[in-house]
Amino acid sequence: MIVTLIVACEVGFWILLAGGLALRYLAKMPRAGAAVLLLEPLLELVLLIATAIDLRNGAAASTKHGIAAVYIGYSVGLGHATIKWVDQRVAHRFAGGPPPVKPPKYGRARTVHEWRAAGRWILAAVVALALLQAAIWYVGGSGDTSSLRGWQQAMLYVVGINLVIALSYTLWPKREPDGAGSR
């Protein structure tokens, strides 16, 4: 049931996103589009409640529960950035909006961009870690929580990798090639 719900939430995310943007740009109903986009977090709430109920009803904590926590973490940490990314492209393509903003390539601006991206990924991982820990406490000592602990380890890797990437741009900022700025 949980895997099906995860898939349904992902499909629902894209349906709500497409519907909200269609209302905003094609039907010229920006308020209705915004209202539809604001329904997105309800999907994660439904998944969270269903996962808790599944565990409460005696389901063994497994990989599917870990995936649910990671999915919710991703939605919290990166959902807004994903919606904004798609919104810029739809506005440009269908509503005459400006071209999408490209990330900076060099220097301090690139470093700041990388730290912001790392922050979103770290937020996603921390939310997932918290949900995984809550599930471990919820199951208690009576069940096997090794799969949830495995997901926690994976989220720690996500944090570490993002810190290393952002730190590398801080210590060794990518420099603009000679002559590139004078064109």
C-alpha angle 64/128/122, rounded to 5°?
A: 140
Per-residue pLDDT at 180: 65
128: left (phi over 0), alpha (psi -120 to 50) or beta: alpha
Which segments of the chain have a pLDDT < 70?
Answer: 180-183
Sign, CA torsion 1/45/89/164: negative
Task: Report pLDDT digits (tens) over 111-142.
Answer: 999 999 999 999 999 999 999 999 999 988 77
